Amino acid sequence: MNNDTSASEDVILNENGDVYNPIDLNGLMISKCICCCIGIPLNASIAVALIGNHQLRTKPRIVFLLGIIFSYMSFFVVAIIELIYWCLYPVESVCQAYVVCSALPQALLLLNLLLALGDRYVAIKHPLFHRRKMTERLACGIVIFSSLLTVFVQNFAYLVGLRTLRCEVWLVRVKLVTITTSLLYFACTIFNFVVYRETKNLLCEYRTICSSRNAPLDTTGKGKVGASNRQSTRTMSVHVDKRKLSRIIMQATRTLVIGVTSLAVTACPSIVISCVFLSCRSIVDERQCRFLNWMAPYFQELGLISAVYSPIIFIVRQRELRLALTCARDNRKF
């Protein structure tokens, strides 16, 4: 009886009181197949183009971009596991693999977006330090270490033996996923605004480049400079093309809007529904909160859809990426 009570408290149940099956397509099979058919070749071609271009892959910011691309590809790994379970091999081991991987893509994506924003902030705020310290090897180490740490935190309950890995969802896992994803989401949102502010400040500094003429040297040894010489010292201003400056500011604003909107559309809904679910269980009886379970697959689908259109946005907005894809295509022809 104690085991039944513990299971009802710790394991997520469906509206009928049965153990909730974490793999529930709910009519999403067609959309998953379409997203996989489009997104896998698209993301794979971007990754191959970046890795194959020696000039780009040695840049640290390209390493962080690759981390984002691989995070998008992880969404398709989860979708393929779902399709295998429902269409080919509906066994416990496949479902266990899905339980381990289901929440990782969103967390890894937010993590790599945060790392890319942090790299951009350091490059703007401390350019000399960034140029001297941030290398390709260091960027790879940061991405790999932080990704492994995220995997460990999200699966902490299974790795240390607090819960048994089965084809079910434990409440403690939901809490860990919600906490880590929420922290990464808010950090990414804040950093988007911070990087935007620093970018505008840098552009304002470039708007007028001021330099003062040096005072004439005292070659007489008397240590005095005439008043007329001091008055002749003036500020020289060089104005940057206003149209170009406005275009750069508009591009920074567009980047901010796209980044924040994308996070709000893909990550925020799943975080909100998880917080509502956990709050509901803490306030009322858990049986009254079971109706929220059916919404989870639809919110997870938003991340899969973003893994298709976000790389297209990268291609449209980044000239270097377009050139890398063009070079890769030309090399295949020869």
Instruction: Indicate the domain borders of the chain.
Output: 21-199+240-333
Angle, CA 265 vertex, CA 76 and CA 273 arms, to 5°? 90
At position 224, the amino acid (one-letter code) is K
CB 302 within 8 A of CB 270: yes
CB 263 within 8 A of CB 255: no
CB 78 within 8 A of CB 144: no
Give pLDDT, residue 139: 93
Cα 218 to the center of its chain, rounded Å: 58
CB 43 within 8 A of CB 311: yes
Tokens 């919600």 locate to 178
Tokens for 299, please give them. 């919110």
Report the SS3 class of residue 215: coil
* DSSP E strands, the chain: 208-212, 235-239
Tokens for 259, please give them. 């980044």
CA distances 318 to 62, 215, 244, 255, 280, Å, are 11, 45, 17, 11, 44
Tokens for 14, please give them. 């469906």
Q: In residues, how long is the chain?
A: 334
Report the Cα–Cα distance between both ends of the chain, in Å, rounded.
70
Among candidate residues 119, 115, 110, the one with its CA nearest the CA of residue 179: 110
Q: How far is the C-alpha of 82 from the C-alpha of 209, rounded, in Å?
A: 57
Give pLDDT, residue 215: 44
Angle, CA 332 vertex, CA 331 and CA 334 arms, to 5°? 65
Q: How far is the C-alpha of 70 from the C-alpha of 66, rounded, in Å?
A: 6
Q: Is 121 exposed, middle or buried (0-12, 13-18, 19+ CB in 10 A)?
A: middle
Q: How far is the C-alpha of 66 from the C-alpha of 314, rounded, in Å?
A: 12
Q: Which CATH number fits domain 21-199+240-333: 3.10.510.20, 1.20.1070.10, 3.40.50.150, 1.10.3720.10?
A: 1.20.1070.10
**What phi and psi, each to the nearest 5 degrees, are found at residue 318?**
-115, 115
Per-residue pLDDT of the chain (334 residues; tens, 9 = 90+): 444 444 445 888 777 777 888 887 666 788 899 999 999 999 999 998 888 877 776 788 889 989 999 999 999 999 999 999 988 888 889 999 999 998 899 999 999 999 999 998 998 888 888 889 898 899 999 999 999 999 999 999 898 888 888 888 888 889 999 999 999 999 999 998 888 888 888 777 666 554 443 444 444 444 444 444 444 433 334 444 556 656 666 676 777 777 788 888 888 888 998 898 888 888 887 778 877 787 878 888 888 898 999 888 888 888 778 887 887 776 665 5
Tokens for 266, please give them. 């893909």
Which DSSP symbol is given to 11? Answer: B
**What phi and psi, each to the nearest 5 degrees, are found at residue 239?**
-95, 130
Among candidate residues 303, 288, 232, the one with its CA nearest the CA of residue 72: 303
Give the bridge partners for 209, in sequence order: 238
